[in-house]
Structure 1
């Protein structure tokens, strides 16, 4: 550690010149380098190093600080990885031959002699291609630390039962109740449910030969998939989708753990199926087919099923690792508690200070020392202690070992033989042949699907999140665990494990000189001294379990014993960095672009944090249990910290920093739906039982949308019977993302009138000028964004531009998506676009503003992906604040002569303000008693939130007009546009459907019974249009586009849409010899899937240029010939 600190000090010389970084912790580190003799782990040097990296790498840190954090991380990871030998120096028994090949390897999918994709073998063989059995299942444990100084003969070591009673067991009061010490950081039982998965994933000691580990030495989710071909095949469907059977997993040992462990594993089982379905739907390489089109049991179906399964497993296992590094390690280091989103990236490629490549993917073999280290029974909560007692009691009675006759069991009398019989009895009930019937936690499987209820899974996980775990340390293990702990002590002795001090010396830690130094509790130290006499005789297992535990503080969240804390990080680095499928093989080629992107943090994919401070388990809750975990739920964002303690901690930090972060979360436990919510029905009795009613008739859908309260409720809107929920999300944006019950009336009528009547010129309000502005905007975009083929660059000075040369334009990205953004920025708000040479305070480029406009629209109207809700809201809030600042500034400038002069200067300096100023001046004249801030809110709602829907509507129309092949033959006149667009939107709705909530009892066409107040229905536009009768034109009425399901604000208001959209489309169609671009470029990159949050309704999803899944089209390339008179 001293060497590491010295290297870090040298690496930080430039950064240390910044006085803000010379904190007390850093001074302590420098002092430690100067006085190496005083180094020991009680000085918390490791914690201070990680706190330093956390502060330097935080999202809000400067680029120089982040660079320093990256450099420090590379050094620290390399140091921790090399803490353990690769390969190990010793094993507990002889290694199997490296020549063995598994069935999975022999049947690997190949093409032309090459693997089509990398994949995990069932037994983890070939993880290191040079040493195929390195770390594979059914190989011997490694020995990390040879014992050379433990001179006490094994037969003179203290009795294991006596060790348990004096050093391990929770003491009892006079009433026989054991003393429970809650975890000092408020870590929840859910954390230890994941710990159970990790421990059982890498440790599965063979019952007959304790030197053999029946699982692999990798965090490959073998607890889910199994460690043999037989287990893997037993949980798969083999139907061409690559999916698993519903809610199954392969390791029956987990059924003996508290229910939250299995509940988490069920989430990973569902996540595999979610990923597999996405891979099939997206079909990135175009080689996958609908399973229904493949012959049953054919080689084609098997090949497709294998490919999807293996790719989905790679993604799911990588997701598991991201949760371990983000949530699990984040909790260990207290990073979530301290509200930091920086995480140690153990997988990143890096080089050592000598420029050597830091090793990755070389393999890993787990050792007996870490098998002993990960036994954390002291952390059992009171609730889980009682559960364990009941389960153990039932198992012992079923095995005929005890007969409690309804009374208590004396756990001191349970023998190892009793435990073996009970474990065998329970295990024999759960075989791979009946894996579809395994149950836990009192849950039952659905008779049709075999799945557990989502409500039941959620209840178990919420219970675990609210349940505070136990503290580490001596005398904190429940008595019911005595027989298991005794077996653990004996097992460690049979392995010849090293002493506590030998283990510490191996990691460069100061060995303990006395029992009092090992544990500051005098009674514990005295008992240990009486048992072992000399501190050097203290066994590793006993020493780890009863060592002094840490106190909560910066860098210390888990608070185990000091030695565990030091070793656990080295092991985490080796387990992850040594796995080639998490490092060198973790590529978009193997995982697919979708699979790889789903592993990235939201700050990288969406530009915003997701509210979990670096955690990733939140995604699984929102992805797989969306009806049970509402957005903003603290139980979803912080599952490893009990809300009863973390809410208080959050508010304290808010008070210290002057922030309001805690107010963004819902801290109370969500009300989990009682019925099978999320399913659709038209049957009244089922609707009352908890199903959600679907509206499929066109008449019913149109009536509900017509009678929905619009945003901005005024007196003339009273009496409406349906609520959309849009207004709540709008208020979240306008309120800065703070969850609030504040009722704010948004009177949009007068601002809408001005927006619809406003034109870019100051000399009139003629409709023609408004059209001319948008048509001119089309040609400006064409001229600025089009590109040409090679022939066009043969003209004078390489400029090209001759009439007749082929031109290309991404009509969505560079025109249709850009037009409403330019209109708002130029005509309404006066927002400047950022350019490389800008120095006027502009923040975002055109492309960035287009993205944020899309974020607002998606957050408010198409919020169908709960895991994206938080970053979408945060992006929307930032856009509103930026918009509001510009609008308010211009309104206030209009208030005085001085500001009027400044306003003139700004108009000259910023062309965007020239036209927006005139509109805002008129807005001020009509504002009445409204403040500039209120006017900015109204204007934002009226012009920004539907901008991307307008672009999508235009995109759908263009896609319908452009023939699959050849040039556009028939032009659509403005007179024909309305009828044409209506048919387009009927066949290809802008949104698939919407939810509505009844504000009063009502009747709806097509539904036989009354819909009651508070009932939520789903309006399916796809079904509605399918049911529309031949007289649909009469139903929809003149001047309507049917049912759109989007807010009729801004460019989507009927007046503006009718006036502007036909002319924009007409201008685009006027391009000479217009046709689709070549190949895929000339098509929308999209797919259709049944969206869970839309109750199974088909939803069109678009894939953008970087592989992100969006509800809006991102790209459509058109081809045409140059028109010198226009460009």
Structure 2
């Protein structure tokens, strides 16, 4: 490169070279900082005199390319990252070769390079491939791989602050301290920020997760120093074994390990049971998904393989459950402590952040292990927050357990009585009761009972911090706390504060400005420097509310200390930092434990609530989303940040179970009875299209209800879609576009073959472009860079809208789905509105839209005037766009893509591939007769389509139903059933009470032998009207004919590919498995429907699919790669 071209890269007026080097000298010094001992002796410090001159002399020998290299080297040292496209390392080698042998600065630059290379690898390594380090040990050992016992259960407590000051050997009696500084008396002061008791139930679990002391004063911690949910899983291997079923990775249902928790308010145990249910939900789904064959269930009778299968599922489910636990701590708990829940911000103090390495900052160590200290054992005590309700509950339980009021017992009596009570509790968690709640035959508790405890905990406001806030019933426990602090020789309050960089309290009034409290402290201790740690922590003044900043309003020293401890507990834990990866948790599991900045300002507790209680709360219930603050206060908070409209404050109500309808006759009976069975999609449609001050735009859309106005809208939609030469134009459009997209998106591979993701890059894209052409939506693609959405973007938008309206069946994902779908619908609707307004005014497409669509296959009569026909009803543009066009767009694309994807999937599978040669022949025959035969492609969807629709009963109905097919023992995939040999024997009367919802199962109705002769075989001569996958009754798909023609044309182009086949391995599979609702717990008895006797269960055929990266479930196919010969 010429000197001139280099000069042009710098400012015109540059300072002299020597000055520039001098200004960079500080940066150079940092970049070439000390490195490990070097075999060559380094020059003495005296040789650095006159450095700028020496360096100037050296650089004079270099060219501008070398100066550029130096700049890049220094920049990479600052930023911590190297763009290796710039060949920095190679250019540095050239630079070193040009420097004089005796160059001091050259040697330092060399050392700087060595330093960077050394820092690129951890020394020592912080994680390994060893089986012993793969999962959490039951007792916490092995977390720090170079100090396996660090933080393990059974190890001594650490000490944070040495006690260096003289302390009075004759301290005040613990009883006097409690009575003067701790005791609440008759006055309860609610928390100023109205934090609920439920938040402190989590705090209690955290406390007993990392602190458990035998006899209250032992120096040994009986549990691990890690946030590993020991109260649920157990503190050691023996306790953990008692929690496990040792089958399929599951925990014994609705149990927890800790006996002590049975002595806490019921909300604490309920929260642990919620985590128990979450663990079993995760383990069940891990086994079902079986990512990459990682959890392949062994066949045969091999105890060793069965044990490994169970352990891998259990340990991975534990990692994921603990991952959600720590996300709740950081995103719900700590955010509430800091008052961030009162803002619209999604920021959180999250120590899991991954900083880069640079010379300007030192990366915070991670995965180093942790060992909790006695000081924090004293800090993590929350008795002043006990509410009056929990205070009374504790009194009642202690009287029942101990036989008398605990405040009237000596500490020795109290200790013996508590030990006797704990020893009477069965070691096996499954043999214990909980709150006298009845257990079902499988060991589970009733969801409604647990949800009631949870709801009451959220409604219950906790107490506030400060002196004289602890209930009298906690007196014995607090006395033991004071005695423990003394036996552990803890530092004073001021020494502890100084350790954390806080100023010492100079006066008693600085500890607590309340004159009475200050006077008591002065009487008890004489000097602020003599105040003991534990009494000082309890008597210290509380922080005032500040949003954001101070949400907990805890005592000053405690608040600062717990934030440091939160960082240490998470940052030091290898399983929350270095080894917290999708590879270790699986992609799906990692996503389950993660937060979303766009949902609840990154709070995640709703995930736990909905998996534990899927039948008790609406998807936007305030109880589920923000349970750490009482609902009435949450209303004020969310109104202040303009988010209250997203939630409901309604009381929780148990949902009625869905009733499956299986036979063709029963499905038809429901769907044709518009009077007694109503569609249920109206609310979801309105949610997507509602506008400010006009919330009911979607109420008259044909799928929003069953009235006359809905029938009228359906007539308009049908008239608009089925008009003019629609059949010819649609067929030609797909015939033109499909080969074009196949060629564009496929890739040549060795062997004269091509490969493509048929679902994602052909079927979805083609149908998206077709619907964009229908409604004149500008697509940004290879020929139209002026569009608004790319193919994939528009399909993703429409797919989310479709799922939110028609397939919103997962309560755990529903709120997120509906929130995102509404935002997407509003954005898309604005684009459609501009198009419709233009057409309304001009009567034709504007030049810019025409330019966008230039070069694409056209729909000259059909597409260009579709919006005009929809506007002909006399309604204003806004009403037509939001009330008709947007719902039509929502229903079209995903439904069409699903039909074709499932058809092709069937014909590529073992049962269907024998028909491919005939389909290939028909595709190339290009005659009307052959094309007519191809319309029966729907056979593939009939045999593969997992479609169902919902209705709600407006009156109590009784319908005769039966199971058309049964699961095949020879089909582990569950996709290919056998015809029920005893249909008469499975007929039953299904009672559908008013208000209950039914699931009309098209998968089973499509295999009913009463309608389809040889129901499990492909027949290309069946009447087209017999197929159910476009619906039955008054709400059958309004665009059925349009979809049938378009998808047949698309299907023809696909099966016309030579030697069409799946790509090898998992890439060629449509990742899916049987879909089954999660009811809060696994292992429920298998019974007949509606209370009938147990019998062989019917085949349902409904499937769940996964996203391309398998991080999430999806209701429709997303990917399947195929190959063909050129």
TM-score higher than 0.5: yes
State the secondary structure of the residue aligned to 2:389: helix
**Correspondence for 1:1077:** 1063
Contact 1:966 1:1075 in 2 (8 A): no
**Correspondence for 2:918:** 970
- Find out whether 1:531 has 2:531 as its counterpart: no
Q: 1:556 & 1:1036 partners in 2: Cα distance?
A: 70
Which residues in structure 2 correspond to 1:642-1041 (within 5 Å)?
A: 642-654=630-642, 661-672=643-654, 678=657, 693-708=659-674, 720-735=675-690, 744-746=699-701, 747=710, 748-757=713-722, 765-790=725-750, 805-833=752-780, 843-896=788-841, 903-908=846-851, 911=854, 918-919=864-865, 922-923=868-869, 926-964=872-910, 968-971=916-919, 973-981=930-938, 983-991=939-947, 993-1006=948-961, 1008=989, 1011-1025=992-1006, 1028-1029=1009-1010, 1039-1041=1025-1027
Q: 2:207 & 2:311 partners in 1: Cα distance?
A: 28
**Correspondence for 2:512:** 519
What's the CA shift for 1:507? 0.6
- Structure-1-length-normalised TM-score: 0.78
**Correspondence for 1:213:** 221
Distance 1:263 1:301, change over 3 A: same
**Correspondence for 1:252:** 259
Contact 1:1101 1:1110 in 2 (8 A): yes
State the secondary structure of the residue aligned to 1:1005: strand
Distance 1:500 1:187, change over 3 A: same
What's the CA shift for 1:441? 2.7
Question: Considering only CA atoms, is the larger Rg found in Structure 1 or Structure 2?
Answer: 2
1:182 pairs with 190, 205, 225, which one?
190
What's the CA shift for 1:1078? 2.4
What's the CA shift for 1:1032? 6.1
Q: 1:787 & 1:385 partners in 2: Cα distance?
A: 69
Deviations 1:299-319 (A, max 9, x none): 111111111111111111111
Q: 1:1057 & 1:924 partners in 2: Cα distance?
A: 19
What's the CA shift for 1:1106? 1.7
**Correspondence for 2:96:** none
Q: 2:517 & 2:997 partners in 1: Cα distance?
A: 60
Deviations 1:622-657 (A, max 9, x none): 123111111110000001010021112322333xxx
Deviations 1:571-619 (A, max 9, x none): 000001111111111122322222122222235xxxxx23x22111100
Which residues in structure 2 correspond to 1:425-440 (within 5 Å)?
A: 425-432=420-427, 434-440=428-434
Count of residue pairs the alignment pairs up:
927
1:548 pairs with 520, 541, 544, which one?
541
**Correspondence for 1:341:** 346
What's the CA shift for 1:1038? 5.1
Distance 1:246 1:323, change over 3 A: same
State the secondary structure of the residue aligned to 1:1120: strand
Distance 1:1002 1:312, change over 3 A: closer
Contact 1:829 1:886 in 2 (8 A): no
State the secondary structure of the residue aligned to 2:574: coil
2:626 pairs with 633, 638, 641, which one?
638
**Correspondence for 1:614:** 602
Which residues in structure 2 correspond to 1:374-523 (within 5 Å)?
A: 374-397=380-403, 402=404, 409=405, 412-432=407-427, 434-446=428-440, 448-523=441-516
Deviations 1:491-526 (A, max 9, x none): 101111111111110011111100111111111111
Contact 1:282 1:1087 in 2 (8 A): yes
State the secondary structure of the residue aligned to 2:344: coil
- Higher alpha-carbon deviation: 257-266 or 858-867: 858-867
Q: 1:772 & 1:345 partners in 2: Cα distance?
A: 56
- Higher alpha-carbon deviation: 589-598 or 143-152: 589-598
Distance 1:930 1:144, change over 3 A: same
Contact 1:518 1:548 in 2 (8 A): yes
What's the CA shift for 1:1042? 2.1
What's the CA shift for 1:742? 8.9
What's the CA shift for 1:1092? 2.2
- Structure-2-length-normalised TM-score: 0.78
Deviations 1:231-250 (A, max 9, x none): 111111112x1111111211
Contact 2:717 2:870 in 1 (8 A): no
RMSD: 3.1
Deviations 1:73-127 (A, max 9, x none): xxxxxxxxxxxxxxxxxxxxxxxxxxxxxxxxxxxxxx9x952971111111111
Distance 1:1044 1:227, change over 3 A: farther
Contact 2:217 2:483 in 1 (8 A): no
Could you tell me which runs of 5 or more consecutive residues in structure 2 were left unpaired when the two chains were aligned: 1-78, 81-127, 702-709, 923-929, 962-987, 1016-1020, 1087-1099
Distance 1:872 1:257, change over 3 A: same
What's the CA shift for 1:1026? 5.5
What's the CA shift for 1:418? 2.6
What's the CA shift for 1:733? 0.8
- Higher alpha-carbon deviation: 564-573 or 1087-1096: 1087-1096
1:302 pairs with 271, 286, 307, which one?
307
Q: 1:1115 & 1:1046 partners in 2: Cα distance?
A: 29
- Higher alpha-carbon deviation: 1039-1048 or 260-269: 1039-1048
Which residues in structure 2 correspond to 1:319-330 (within 5 Å)?
A: 319-330=324-335
Which residues in structure 2 correspond to 1:235-274 (within 5 Å)?
A: 235-239=243-247, 241-274=248-281
Distance 1:936 1:734, change over 3 A: closer
State the secondary structure of the residue aligned to 1:1013: coil
State the secondary structure of the residue aligned to 2:730: helix
- Find out whether 1:350 has 2:355 as its counterpart: yes
Contact 1:455 1:628 in 2 (8 A): yes
Contact 2:952 2:996 in 1 (8 A): yes
What's the CA shift for 1:450? 0.6
Q: 2:866 & 2:844 partners in 1: Cα distance?
A: 16
Contact 2:746 2:754 in 1 (8 A): yes
Deviations 1:12-52 (A, max 9, x none): xxxxxxxxxxxxxxxxxxxxxxxxxxxxxxxxxxxxxxxxx
Contact 1:852 1:875 in 2 (8 A): no
Distance 1:493 1:285, change over 3 A: same
Could you tell me which runs of 5 or more consecutive residues in structure 1 were left unpaired when the two chains were aligned: 1-70, 73-110, 172-177, 403-408, 604-608, 655-660, 679-691, 709-719, 759-763, 792-804, 1123-1127
**Correspondence for 1:139:** 155
Contact 1:232 1:250 in 2 (8 A): yes
State the secondary structure of the residue aligned to 1:566: helix
**Correspondence for 2:588:** 594
What's the CA shift for 1:847? 1.4
Q: 2:745 & 2:648 partners in 1: Cα distance?
A: 45
Contact 1:857 1:945 in 2 (8 A): yes
What's the CA shift for 1:289? 4.0
**Correspondence for 1:1113:** 1117
Q: 1:1003 & 1:974 partners in 2: Cα distance?
A: 43
Q: 1:925 & 1:994 partners in 2: Cα distance?
A: 30
**Correspondence for 2:34:** none
- Find out whether 1:360 has 2:372 as its counterpart: no
